[in-house]
Amino acid sequence: TYSMTAQASRALSVGGICVAVALPDTPAAVRAVRPVLPDVDVVEIRLDAMQQPDIAGLCRQIERPLLFTNRAAWEGGACPHSEEERIEPLLAAVRCRAAFVDLELRADPSLRRRLLAEIRGTATRLIISHHDFAGTPDAKQLSAILQAQAQSGAHIGKIVTMAHDHLDVLRVLNLQGEARARNFPLIAFCM
């Protein structure tokens, strides 16, 4: 198992390279990511794309810090399961010493509390994410999202929006200054 290091955490918050893998099974995911491992800092496994993920196998076979995401359909993902079923693979990832797990800010707070309880005393870090596939909120709304993330108990925030012009991109980039002032690591970019 490749456990989380301070270097992996810094890589996510200061511009390291993360490759996302959304394939139907563990062997396909491992085959796809192996050629790029020398060039990436973190590998994101999209559990919502997998039919029967083998989390322990992924942790054993991919020698990079792993980020596990099981994105809900209501936030652009493909997970067809109930919220209770959706959280189970993320809890398993924590038990397998994954570097990161990602949960949506809009998810029921009880799910976040369960993940944080499982994480307590481990090196796993919780990323709390927000996605907007239609546009980029105004600066006040983005600041409110960042504040909610910082207050959520998560270790890292992630805000991804759809840019329609350069001003959208600038608003998202400006969040980095606010996040730094809060001493809260933030991943922020536009689609």
Residues identified as active-site:
131, 158
Q: Nearest 5°: CA angle at 74, between 172 and 16?
A: 40
Q: Which residues contact 185 (CB under 8 A, 6 or more apart)?
A: 9, 12, 13, 155, 156, 157, 179
Spatial contact of 1 and 121, defined as CB atoms under 8 Å apart: no
| DSSP run (H or E) holding 8 | helix 6-13
Q: Is the dihedral of CA 19, 99, 89, 57 positive or negative?
A: positive
Nearest of 28, 34, 3 to residue 122 by alpha carbon: 3
